[in-house]
Chains A and B, each alone.
Chain A
Amino acid sequence: EPEVTQTPSHQVTQMGQEVILRCVPISNHLYFYWYRQILGQKVEFLVSFYNNEISEKSEIFDDQFSVERPDGSNFTLKIRSTKLEDSAMYFCASSRDQSIEFFGPGTRLTVL
């Protein structure tokens, strides 16, 4: 069964460093999403992406964040200069038609 994959599973970085979180969505899906979940808190929407552009973003998704689909299969989330409060689990998701979303296993980001 096709699934969304994410790498790495755990990323540790120093405050101020850039990180890139990678996702491979399901191959025939057209809509892509990033979410984050700070430990013990609810899941929060970051951004949705369709047709090679951002379709919607939350107030969390400021200038430090960017997304890209560089090669038709990967979908990346870049955080330019990480802060301590960026420590969270980051989930990628994809859907074929804005209905059911399929979530990846998540990347745990720890900023020291």
Chain B
Amino acid sequence: KNEVEQSPQNLTAQEGEFITINCSYSVGISALHWLQQHPGGGIVSLFMLSSGKKKHGRLIATINIQEKHSSLHITASHPRDSAVYICAVTATGANSKLTFGKGITLSVRP
């Protein structure tokens, strides 16, 4: 069974801090997604990774396929980064089906 685990469950940071959110999964995957869900419920795709590292603005996502682990880093965090960050994977051979983690609630205090 494919499990996606995220840690920590809740995270509070001070504005300006460097933040790391972790994701681990239990099966071989073809892709890993990082998503952001705002308090109103809307979901935004941040990254899709199958190897290495991607950067977009203050966000960096890395993946280690051998260790079945990915991290999302936020540099110079800001209160507007407060949201739920969700990791989701497509298992190898699963075509398009995404399996989601529970998400991490991030609060950035001014």
Contact = CB atoms under 8 A, between A and B. Distances in A.
B95 A43 contact: no
A50 B95 CA distance: 11
B86 A56 contact: no
Give the interface centre of B44, B86, B97, B99 by most chain A CB atoms within 10 Å: B97
Interface residues of A, number: 26
A65 to B, nearest CB: 15
Interface class of chain A by DSSP: strand
A33 B96 contact: yes
B64 to A, nearest CB: 21
B37 to A, nearest CB: 8
A100 B95 CA distance: 14
A93 B43 CA distance: 10
Interface stretch (A11-19, A20-28, A76-84, A101-109): A101-109
B18 to A, nearest CB: 25
A52 interface: no
Interface residues of B, number: 22
B96 A58 contact: no
A103 B41 CA distance: 11
15 contacts: A31-B96, A35-B98, A42-B100, A42-B103, A43-B100, A44-B100, A45-B97, A58-B97, A91-B43, A98-B96, A103-B35, A103-B43, A106-B41, A106-B42, A106-B43
Interface of A: 31, 33, 35, 37, 41-45, 48, 50, 55-56, 58, 89, 91, 93, 98-103, 105-106, 108
Interface of B: 31, 33, 35, 40-45, 48, 86, 88, 94-103
Minimum-distance CB pairs A-B, first 7: A103-B43, A48-B96, A43-B100, A42-B102, A42-B100, A100-B45, A56-B95
